């Protein structure tokens, strides 16, 4: 049985706090990422998306960096955005929430005139992103002590 949810841009402070709460649950509590590196200056300028159950429970989140904010993550290519901080709460995994979040971020990237989206995927999630059309490039690298690969999808 699936529970209805919606994915929306996190416009107000309550939505942004819900995004941060999901990230804290997934990255800090589950994966052991230090809280002081989970949140960064990009959070203030990023476009955040939020998946929320109809009763208000936050299920997942992700963010899009674009323009100058994305330059360090995308090799400085102006038309490339950076998808990051994609997190789905444990109870919502396997229900399409992650796919819906990625597609919402891609839609936001297109709306801003971007032609591609890059991301740094945890290596265990490479197959998930490959099924969504992303291609890995470059060597594996550690981020917060977790192995990652860079990936890109042309929009």
Q: Per residue in 91-116, pLDDT tens? A: 999 999 999 999 999 999 999 999 99
CA distances in angstroms from 20 to 23, 63, 70, 92, 110, listed in the order given? 5, 11, 20, 16, 24
Distance (Å) of CA 52 to CA 7, 56, 88, 105, 108: 6, 6, 11, 15, 18
Q: Tell me the pTM.
A: 0.94
Identify the pLDDT of residue 77. 86
- pLDDT tens digit string along 30-76? 999 999 999 999 999 999 999 999 999 999 999 999 998 998 888 88
């Amino acid at each position: 049985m699936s529970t209805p949810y919606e994915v929306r841009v996190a416009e107000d402070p309550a939505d942004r706090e819900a995004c941060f709460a999901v990230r804290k649950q997934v990255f800090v509590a589950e994966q052991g990422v230090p809280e002081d590196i989970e949140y960064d200056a990009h959070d203030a300028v990023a476009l955040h998306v939020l998946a929320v159950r109809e009763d208000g429970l936050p299920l997942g989140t992700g963010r899009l960096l674009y323009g100058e904010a994305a330059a360090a993550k995308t090799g400085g290519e102006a038309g490339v955005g950076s998808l990051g901080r994609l997190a789905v709460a444990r109870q919502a995994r396997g229900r399409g929430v992650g796919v819906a979040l990625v597609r919402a971020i891609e839609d936001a990237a297109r709306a801003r005139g971007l032609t591609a989206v890059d991301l740094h995927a945890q290596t265990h999630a490479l197959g998930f992103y490959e099924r969504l059309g992303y291609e890995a490039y470059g060597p594996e690298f550690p981020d917060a002590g977790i192995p990652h690969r860079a990936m890109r999808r042309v929009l």
